[in-house]
Amino acid sequence: MHPELFELELFGDGIERRYRRLRPEVEAMPWGTFDTTRFSKSALIKARKQWTLAAFQEHRTGIACAATLRGLMECRAPLDLIAMASRFPLDEMVHVELCARMAMELGGGTEVTHDPDELIVDGPEDVRPLLRTADMVVRFFCVGEALSIPLLRGTWKAAKHPLPRAVLGRIVKDEAAHGVFGFAFLDWASESLDAADRAHLGRAADRTIRAIQQQWQRLERQRSPDYDETMGDALGWMQSDAYLALAKRSMEQKVRAPLRERGIPLSA
């Protein structure tokens, strides 16, 4: 498969109006209030890249949410749990738009290419629906979403300009439900999971955790020596040291500890 450019569009007309009625807070953001003349060209380029990548990652998370939703139906999860998860893809599409529009406020999105067949790793096909769904829930929600919430909250607190602060605040508010969902699912499924199932889920969690830790290592190598605190406050990012410290603490408290409490064995 040849890599494709990550591009976004709106259908418009009545479809867009229905979308706006579902999530009117998008248009209520203080768009057009960001004065880019205060920042260096290099700072704006970095911010544009970060917000474009954030839009791409939110798009990937939307796919993960949709795949998990199908799994919940296939394994006949409780109706209220399915209903809770059914709003997650919409949340993520809203976050895609918010991040993309932030990039546009700063001068435009940057180029991101991807393989559309490799955006997420589906659950294994050779196991029963419950375990296949649990595999996705553990990776996408118990690790990915549970970790993202404290990091997003920390970034939101670091942002001082009203626009990125409003955008991040909206994302944090939506993600709160995503973070508790995964562990609620495990609590429901617990009696149907045997030791082999739990070992499988532990390995799935370990692989996801290791991939995230490798991203942290790359971030440590790429940290900017000329970071300006006021620049980060306005553009909406945290200093690398503060971000990594929060990330490592959150991984233990919000991911590893709750999984172990539910009998999911993790590597040391």
Q: Name the domain count of the chain.
A: 1
Q: Is the pLDDT of residue 228 over 80?
A: no
Give the range of the structural domain holding residue 157, as residue numbers without chain letter: 4-261
Per the listing, tokens 């893809």 go with 89
Q: Is the pLDDT of residue 227 over 60?
A: no
Give the Å distances, CA to CA, from 115 to 10, 190, 230.
22, 35, 36
Greater pLDDT, 136 or 239: 136
Residue 32 Ramachandran class (φ > 0 left, ψ -120 to 50 alpha, else beta): left
Q: Is residue 267 part of a domain?
A: no
Q: Is residue 19 part of a domain?
A: yes
Q: Is residue 243 part of a domain?
A: yes
Greater pLDDT, 233 or 107: 107
pLDDT of residue 226: 55
Average of per-residue pLDDT values in the chain: 93
Q: Is residue 10 part of a domain?
A: yes
Q: Is residue 268 part of a domain?
A: no
Average pLDDT over residues 244-264: 96
* pLDDT one-digit tens code per residue, 5-64: 999 999 999 999 999 999 999 999 999 999 999 888 888 998 999 999 999 999 999 999
H/E run at residue 261: helix 257-261
The CATH number covering residue 133 comes to 1.20.1260.10
Give the Cβ contact number of residue 267 at 10 Å: 10
Q: Is residue 72 part of a domain?
A: yes
Residue 108 Ramachandran class (φ > 0 left, ψ -120 to 50 alpha, else beta): left
Greater pLDDT, 109 or 242: 109
Give the Cβ contact number of residue 134 at 10 Å: 30
Q: Is residue 197 part of a domain?
A: yes
* Torsion angle, alpha carbons of 149, 174, 80, 253, to 10: 10
* pLDDT one-digit tens code per residue, 145-156: 999 999 999 999
Q: Is residue 130 part of a domain?
A: yes
Spell 26-65 as b/e; 16+ CB within 10 A means b: beebeeeebeeeebeeebbebbbbbbbbbbbbbbbbbbbb
Alpha helices in 127-194 (DSSP H): 129-136, 146-158, 162-189
Give the Å distances, CA to CA, from 132 to 156, 179, 240.
34, 19, 36
Total-model pTM: 0.94
Average pLDDT over residues 195-219: 95
Rounded to whole angstroms, the Cα distance separating 26 from 173 reads 13
